[in-house]
Each structure stands twice: as structure tokens, then as C-alpha cells.
Amino acid sequence: MEFFTSYDGTKLAYRVIGDGRPVICLPGGPQESAYLGELGGLSAHRQLIMLDLRGTGRSATPADIASCRCDRLVDDVEALRGHLGLDRMDLLAHSAGANLAVQYVGRRPERVGRLALITPSVRAVGIAITGELRRETVQPRRDEPWFPEAFAALEAIGAGQATADSRQAIAPFSYGRWDEAARAHRAAEDERMNTEVVAAFNAEGAYDPDATRAALARFQSPVLLLAGEVDPGAPAPATAEFAELFPNAEFAVQPGAGHFPWLDDADRFVAATAAFLGQATTRRRNLSH
């Protein structure tokens, strides 16, 4: 782990994996970046700078937990850019990390080269995901043995009857294969989640969809939005709608993938993502840790 001090004195941690031009990776959750692994081997193509958001992983929990709100984390990303000595950087964000990435773009568009949003949350841009769309998205899995219990839990959550058990029951929908590796990945995710930080991340005032949409409409750099075919967390139609907010976006769907496409088919994920990021024009002044 490497460390730097953010704008308010909070000590934040990040991992450096691989060589080549750096790409800053923002995890979802919010949680520590360990669950991203090496993004299926993307580290063979680009140097991955994986940030642990404040209050997660090896990063310190700030005295003011309100500073973990999504829009306020923009200043941490900017502090990391400055620490790394990057004039302009490529960003890759997964899930809820996309909410942070697009708010960074809204505030610092001149600092972003290429932007890759992987199974992105759409909360920051105000796109609605209906219960019907989520149910349609998971229908290709209906012959799997765990489906009846998971589908019943999904319907209960959609009806406003969410419980800890129902949220656990829908876990298989996040993975293209609900196998031993997926179960281990999910268990590790559950251990890393800090509910206090999650609440602060999404606290009132975290998002201004109208302002963010207006900023994205002016963002001319290349953008990739990648959806998993069977991911109810970020259904492909909602991700396609997200892509339409950018003037220069590519939209792709990874067949058979859930919310973590690098786990479901690493080769396919890396091929698509590396092809997009491979043309990056990131300029590095003086990378010092």
C-alpha cells in the first residue's frame, strides 16, 4: 500500500498494480478496493492505481464522517491526482464509484482523459431503474437452482420489504456464475462494508442530477460504459440511457456477466476495457509515492 494526505489532513491509501500508463480506479460500495483484484488481468495492460475511499480499507476514517459524502470525495480524487503528478488522468470506476467519477468530471473535466464506467450506478444522474426492469434482467437465470429464492427476495425488496435475509438471498444475481469463487468474493465484500460510511456516502445533498447531466453533456473525452447482461444492479437498458448523456460514449454489454464482469469472463472484460483504455494519452510529470 502507498499513502498520501488529502486536502483535510486525512491519510488515504492506494495500491499500485502493473506497469505502463496509470489509470485511477475508483471502487464501488463504498468499500476498499481489494475486491477489484487486478480487474481480471487489466494490470498487464495498464498500471492500476486503486484508491481505498476514506473510511474504507487502509484509508483513515475522518473525524468528520460527513466528508465521506460522494460529492465531497471529489476532492480526494483531485488530491490523489496531484500526489501522483498527473496533469491528466484516465479514470475507471465500478458500480457506485461511477457516481464519484462523474461528479469529478463535472468539476474537473480538463483533468480526465478517458473514462470507463463498469456496471455503473446511475444515482448521480437520476436515471430510474424499475422493479420490472430488474425482474426482466434476471429471467435468463430462471433455470438455476437458487433462482426461486433469489427471485422472491428481489420481489420483496422491490415491494419495500427488504430485510438482511432478502438482501443476502439476491447475492447470486450479482455474479454470472454462483460458484465457490463467487461465494468467497461476496463473503469478503460483506466483511469490508462499513454501514456508517455507506450512509454518509449517499447522504442528502450527495447528488445533483441536473447539474451533473449538464456537465456530462459538455464532456468531449471518450467514455466507455460496460454493462453485464444479467446484472439487475446496473441493467443494460439503464446503462445505455446513461451512455446517451455523453457526446462521445461507447456502450457495451458483456454476455452472461453480472455486476463483476472481470470475474465472470476475465478475457472478454480485459479485451474490451484494454482496447478502450489502450489509446489513452495520459501525461505523467513525476510519479512519486
Name which residue leads in pLDDT, 184 or 280: 184
* pLDDT for the residue numbered 161: 87
* pLDDT for the residue numbered 37: 94
Kindly state the helix (H) or strand (E) to which residue 221 belongs, with its residue range.
Answer: none
Q: What percent of the chain has pLDDT over 70?
A: 96
Displacement of CA 81 from its chain's centroid (Å): 18
CA distance 61 to 174: 28
* pLDDT for the residue numbered 134: 96
pLDDT band at 282 (very low <50, low <70, confident <90, very high): very low
Does 283 have pLDDT greater than 70?
A: no
pLDDT band at 287 (very low <50, low <70, confident <90, very high): very low
* pLDDT for the residue numbered 232: 97
**Least reliable range by pLDDT among 48-57, 162-171, 274-283:** 274-283
* pLDDT for the residue numbered 162: 83
Taking residue 205's Cβ as centre, other Cβ atoms within 10 Å add up to: 10
Entry pTM: 0.94
Does 280 have pLDDT greater than 70?
A: no
Does 30 have pLDDT greater than 60?
A: yes
Average pLDDT over residues 212-227: 98
Helix locations, the chain, DSSP H? 74-84, 97-107, 131-138, 147-158, 164-169, 180-192, 195-201, 209-217, 236-243, 261-264, 266-277
Cα torsion at 169, 170, 176, 180 (round to 10°)? Answer: -20
* pLDDT for the residue numbered 220: 96
Residue burial 173-190, b: 16+ Cβ < 10 Å; e: rest = bbbbebeeebeebbeebe
* pLDDT for the residue numbered 285: 35
* pLDDT for the residue numbered 46: 96
* pLDDT for the residue numbered 288: 33
Does 193 have pLDDT greater than 90?
A: no
Q: What percent of the chain has pLDDT over 90?
A: 87
Does 284 have pLDDT greater than 70?
A: no
For residue 88, the SS3 value is strand
pLDDT band at 186 (very low <50, low <70, confident <90, very high): very high
